[in-house]
Amino acid sequence: MNGITELKGRPGVYDIVVSLGYDENGKQIRITKRRSFDSFLSAVQFKIDLEKSLGKAVKGAATVADIWIKYHQHIGGDEEATERKKKRVHNSPTTIKDKERVFNKHILPYFGSMLPDLITDDIIDAYQKKRLAETERGRIHREINLEITYLSAMINWAARPKNGLCNNRFVAYEPLDYETKKVPKTLTINEIESILAEMSFFHRTMYYTLYHGGLRKKEVTCLRKGDINLDGKFIRLERTKGEHVRIIPLSDTLYAYLFTHLNMLAGRFLIRPDYYYNRLFSLREKNNLDESLVFPSCKTGDVNKDIRFAIRKAKAALQTDKRVHPHMFRHSFASHLIDAGQDLKTVQELLGHADIKTTQIYTHPALRTKQNAIKAAFSSGGGK
């Protein structure tokens, strides 16, 4: 770095030179300090502090922590209320939240005081080793790669000429190897029907919405009555992971369950109210029921926090040890659609995936189904 010179034969001793321009005779005005430092980075930091104390504007002298403050605003993390046109947000709310978590928990504690231009591949390697040593699982390679990717994106943004927060783009480094994402586990149609048969009507309707709608857990628990259009037979989702509106047509089965369920909530009893509906009616009498929710908690009347309860109860009745979780119904929705011959683009749109590569992972179980079909049809033919 200009203005920092290590003395020959004296490791760790540097001359720090700061130029303050020229006097009226054209002679350069300089201040020189000789100091010992434990690292070159410390010498750079001393020069930056010296320049700032002398009132000199410093280009490219921002630390990672300094840059994060401005980058956080750039991606949309610090928007202030204003009557003017809303500024462009460069990341979705979900991505912003994840970047905030990663930077605050991992990146800033390690890289925060460093200058981006001095981050080498050796420093990245040391960070990777540190993060790997922090877990006994040893399966966080992909997470660490994502953390470095976030850091890289920020520094490359900072290095743009119009930003001028650092001089160089992010250093080349070697990402950690990791296993590709495993094929999601799914349930067969018979397994799903057996599980749902053991549930109350209230919970069965909820899980049919997960399965026939391909919804995520949060999308179901936060589903509002206004999201369901029974006349048009579709669900319109706006509170999604990627903040993209998604339209889900209702199957005949899901339509029938939702029609009955919504009528039950409105007090029009098409079937005999069970224990869970009576709990909701009791909450309504106490003004503790969120009337906008399709599946409010039978305990609090607010957003449902525990929908695994219904699965645990059904599994106990079925006496099975198979691990089943709510998201498995969404996986099954995708897999069964592809098994039925639906095109990948349609499945992608129904699932709300931003990248079709995420949807392609469901083609693997579908391929096995086709292989089994061919094997069953031709195994006895001997190729005749």
Retrieve residue 29's tokens.
Answer: 């005005």
Does the active-site annotation cover 241? yes
Does the active-site annotation cover 327? yes
Does the active-site annotation cover 330? yes
From 320, 294, 322, select the one nearest 307 (Cα to Cα): 294
> Per the residue annotation, which of 173, 211, 257, 362 is the catalytic one?
362
Label residues 6-16 b or e (16+ Cβ within 10 Å = b). Answer: eeeeeeeebeb
> Per the residue annotation, which of 56, 241, 315, 364 is the catalytic one?
241
CA distance 280 to 300: 9
> Per the residue annotation, which of 131, 330, 331, 336 is the catalytic one?
330
CA distance 14 to 37: 7
DSSP secondary structure string, 283-314?
A: HHHTT---TTBSS--TTTSSS-S--HHHHHHH
- Judging by DSSP bridges, how do beta strands 228-229 and 28-36 pair with one another? unpaired
**For residue 207, what is the enclosing H or E element?**
helix 201-213
* 272: number of Cβ within 10 Å: 8
> Per the residue annotation, which of 131, 203, 216, 246 is the catalytic one?
216
Task: Look up tokens 């709990």; give the residue.
Answer: 279
Instruction: Return the HEC string of 87-150.
Output: CCCCCCHHHHHHHHHHHHHHHHHHHCCCCHHHCCHHHHHHHHHHHHHCCCCCCCHHHHHHHHHH
Task: Look up tokens 């690292």; give the residue.
Answer: 39
CA distance 121 to 172: 7
Task: Look up tokens 């628990």; give the residue.
Answer: 221
CA distance 109 to 240: 31
CA distance 306 to 63: 43
Active site positions, annotated: 216, 241, 327, 330, 353, 362
